[in-house]
A and B are shown apart, each in its own frame.
Chain A
Amino acid sequence: MARVLGFAENRPLTRLRIVSPGRERPEDDAALVAAVLAREPGAAGRMWDRYASLVRGMLRRMLGPVDVEDGIQDAFLRLFRDLDSLRDPTALRSFLIGITLHVAKSELRRRRAKRWLLLSDDGVVAEPEALAADEWDEPRAAVRSLYKMLDRVSDERRTVFVLRYVEGLDLAELSAVLDCSLATTKRRVADAARRVNLLAASDPLLAPYLEGEA
């Protein structure tokens, strides 16, 4: 049985009463990592508060207008599972971006397999799970077209496009996330940009965006 501490003992109350609250200091990533590894009370919640938006945004922009809540949970569970392998705690953000990308790619592979099975069955391509009406606003059609288009490019190009142009990662950060040299990163960025341009140019909904006219 779990021990229940002495709720009937009085002296601990006196002892704790003299303890002043901790000074308020901003907690950097390294301190947050240390706190999580030490299982400090509240540390896991602080990690969620700090990075849930980043993970949610990345997953939505990688996967499109679908429910990503399961993916967010998966990314955080992987983060907590693997956090002790993070050698440089200040690199937490990049570490989490890498995990999120892994989750996103897994989901893309799962979708592709599902789509293949459906095609072999009745020739119907599965649409992504629709968002609730209050999840996002117009123009829905352009968003849907964009992600249909991205389903036609490789995961690598899709990843580079999203990270570089949508998320706005600079080349150095992108090369770190992709784990390749700066020169290779530049080539992959140019390749991804060329591919999405060519595909978007043939889409009546997306073509105006290429010229900044939409």
Chain B
Amino acid sequence: MTPVEGGDLYERGAANLARVARQLDERIDEPRHAAGRERLLSALTKRARPPSTARRLLLLAATLALAAVVGVVLERRPAQLEYRVAGPVVADGPWLGVAPSGGAVGMHFSDGTEVDLGPGSKGRVAEVTGDGARVVLGAGVLQARVVHRPHARWTVAAGPYTIEVTGTAFDVGWSTAGEELDLSLHDGSVIVRGPSLPDGLRVAAGQRLVARAGTGEAKLSPLLAPLPLADPPVAGPAVRPAEEPSQVHPTPRPLPTWSEMLADGNFRGVVEAADARGTDVALSRGPLADVVALADAARYLHDRVLAKRGLLAERSRFAGSAEARGAAFVLGRMADDGGSRDEAIRWYDTYLAESPGGSFAAEALGRKLVALVESGDTAGARSVAKEYLRRFPHGAHAGYAHDRLPEP
């Protein structure tokens, strides 16, 4: 056999032999594929090792201080919503857990919807479609701000209850021990179904619903007011009045922190506590957590003056902190919503400069783009549109940015 003949023979033999190995193909069923993806994304969230260069190390350290951000895609179709998880996630099987002493964990969806899990809570995204998602609250407190869109379909499940949402903002708590649902509506309305509520109960803005699965009890009351325990039940005959009202309201923990009150939705309590201490003193000498809680509580109560004072106090007293950097974005959004576009753009620029890879970078840049367009700065808007598409080609404002650019 000549070398050439031998080479051809070996070539053919190796190629034939390779057929055996090809039986080990890459086929994988979708559940295993999805499980691998979740495992990877969870590992990326928890990974503490920084990238190689000093610049990346600094950037990551700053970003981790604010939030550990990972991207998650549940479906391959581009039309599917996407979401990312930000915050100190604690893996708990399929659940996203939040340490009792940690900060909130946020789920930021590509349509702008935000779902936050409070300290000590656990939840998961069970399903994502192009129109919304199904979020399961395993225990604790969940806060949601669902962006209203045509055909939007969002559901939050807590125990046997489901909350159907099209566009609204609400807090919901679920106690596994007491099987108690506690829902507070800040905006819009939702339909709640569950034990004693088979036909669904509409809960509107400014209302609070407390429902207990064990007894079928369900009570509506005005938000931020004591629950009217003596009121008749709101649902049909299946709803029984509370036999022991004291069980509906567990004894509150003594002296909750302002952050805990905020997580519980007790915004008025935070502001009243600040009044008692002296708001000026709280803002000028209080710890960072209290200042953040007060600023956020004021925002939720639409007290823009107090909210802005709190945010500015965060920035001046705790400059360089994650909270101070995040405050720049919130200040921009408040100015934006108040019609002060120039001020909004300055704050967005501040946030983007301080947190170029921050959790709200995409939204800050997108909102800056909208503000520039609305202020008539066409050239500036085009420049920002290009930057947005370069950095966030699939972001929530991508379509809007495309529309700002001339046709090729």
Query: Which residues does A use to contact B, with CB under 8 Å?
Result: 1-13, 15-25, 27, 31, 34-36, 38-46, 48-49, 52-54, 56-57, 60-61, 64-65, 69, 72-73, 76-77, 80-82, 84-85, 136-137, 139, 142-143, 146, 161-162, 164-166, 190, 192-194, 196-197, 200, 206, 209-212
**Ranked 5 nearest A-B pairs via Cβ:** A45-B73, A57-B26, A2-B103, A22-B398, A42-B82
Contacts A3-B323, A46-B73, A56-B28; A61 near B84 (Cβ below 8 A)? no
Nearest CB in chain A: distance from B14 CB, A: 4
Nearest-neighbor residue (CB-CB) of A82 within chain B: B52
In the assembled complex, the Cα of A23 lies from the Cα of B10 at a distance in Å of 51
24 residue pairs from A and B, CB less than 8 Å apart: A1-B104, A1-B293, A3-B326, A3-B327, A5-B116, A5-B360, A10-B169, A15-B370, A21-B399, A22-B78, A24-B78, A31-B393, A40-B395, A41-B394, A56-B26, A69-B39, A73-B40, A73-B43, A77-B47, A84-B51, A166-B21, A197-B13, A197-B14, A210-B13
Q: Which of A18, A41, A53, A197 contacts B82 (CB 8 A)?
A: A41
Residues of chain B with a CB closer than 8 A to A81's CB: 49, 51-52
Q: Which of B36, B83, B337 contacts A73 (CB 8 A)?
A: B36
> In the complex, are the beta carbons of B145 and A6 less than 8 A apart?
yes
> In the complex, are the beta carbons of B72 and A8 less than 8 A apart?
no
> In the complex, are the beta carbons of B104 and A2 less than 8 A apart?
yes
A-B contacts besides A6-B299, A12-B337, A200-B13, 19 pairs, CB < 8 Å: A4-B104, A6-B330, A19-B366, A35-B393, A38-B357, A39-B69, A40-B395, A41-B71, A41-B72, A41-B84, A43-B394, A57-B25, A80-B44, A84-B53, A85-B52, A193-B10, A194-B10, A196-B13, A196-B17
Looking at the complex, which of B107-115, B246-254, B377-385 is the stretch in contact with chain A? B107-115
Residues of chain B with a CB closer than 8 A to A40's CB: 71, 362, 391-395
In the assembled complex, the Cα of A2 lies from the Cα of B187 at a distance in Å of 23
In the assembled complex, the Cα of A19 lies from the Cα of B363 at a distance in Å of 12
Contacts A40-B392, A61-B21, A61-B24; A165 near B104 (Cβ below 8 A)? no
B212 within 8 A of A: no
Contacts A7-B169, A10-B187, A21-B399; A143 near B20 (Cβ below 8 A)? yes
Chain B interface size, under 10 / 10 to 19 / 20 to 34 / 35 or more? 35 or more
Residues of chain A with a CB closer than 8 A to B296's CB: 3-4, 6
> In the complex, are the beta carbons of A61 and B337 less than 8 A apart?
no
Give residues 297-337 of B contacting A (CB, 8 Å): 299-302, 322-323, 326-327, 330, 333, 336-337
Q: Which of A8, A19, A39, A200 contacts B300 (CB 8 A)?
A: A8
Residues of chain A with a CB closer than 8 A to B395's CB: 22, 40-41
B2 within 8 A of A: no
Contacts A2-B103, A15-B367; A165 near B110 (Cβ below 8 A)? no
B33 within 8 A of A: yes
Majority-rule SS of A interface residues: helix
> In the complex, are the beta carbons of A212 and B16 less than 8 A apart?
yes
In the assembled complex, the Cα of A34 lies from the Cα of B106 at a distance in Å of 24
Nearest CB in chain B: distance from A192 CB, A: 7
In the assembled complex, the Cα of A77 lies from the Cα of B46 at a distance in Å of 11
Binary contact track B5-26/A, C-beta < 8 Å → 1, others 0 = 0110111111111111111111
Nearest-neighbor residue (CB-CB) of A83 within chain B: B51
Q: Which of A8, A57, A77, A211 contacts B187 (CB 8 A)?
A: A8
In the assembled complex, the Cα of A210 lies from the Cα of B402 at a distance in Å of 57
Nearest CB in chain B: distance from A44 CB, A: 4
In the assembled complex, the Cα of A95 lies from the Cα of B19 at a distance in Å of 26
> In the complex, are the beta carbons of B14 and A161 less than 8 A apart?
yes
Nearest CB in chain A: distance from B312 CB, A: 15
B259 within 8 A of A: yes
Nearest-neighbor residue (CB-CB) of A41 within chain B: B84
B140 within 8 A of A: no
Nearest CB in chain A: distance from B55 CB, A: 9
Nearest-neighbor residue (CB-CB) of A65 within chain B: B24
> In the complex, are the beta carbons of B24 and A64 less than 8 A apart?
yes
In the assembled complex, the Cα of A119 lies from the Cα of B210 at a distance in Å of 67
> In the complex, are the beta carbons of A206 and B20 less than 8 A apart?
yes
In the assembled complex, the Cα of A81 lies from the Cα of B26 at a distance in Å of 24
B292 within 8 A of A: yes
> In the complex, are the beta carbons of B394 and A2 less than 8 A apart?
no
Contacts A73-B39, A196-B14, A209-B19; A9 near B370 (Cβ below 8 A)? no
Q: Which of A16, A42, A137 contacts B72 (CB 8 A)?
A: A42
Nearest-neighbor residue (CB-CB) of B3 within chain A: A190
> In the complex, are the beta carbons of A17 and B106 less than 8 A apart?
no
Q: Which of B36, B302, B322 contacts A52 (CB 8 A)?
A: B36
Residues of chain A with a CB closer than 8 A to B41's CB: 44-45, 48
Residues of chain B with a CB closer than 8 A to A35's CB: 392-394
> In the complex, are the beta carbons of B362 and A2 less than 8 A apart?
no
From A2, A57, A209, residue with most partner B Cβ within 10 Å:
A2
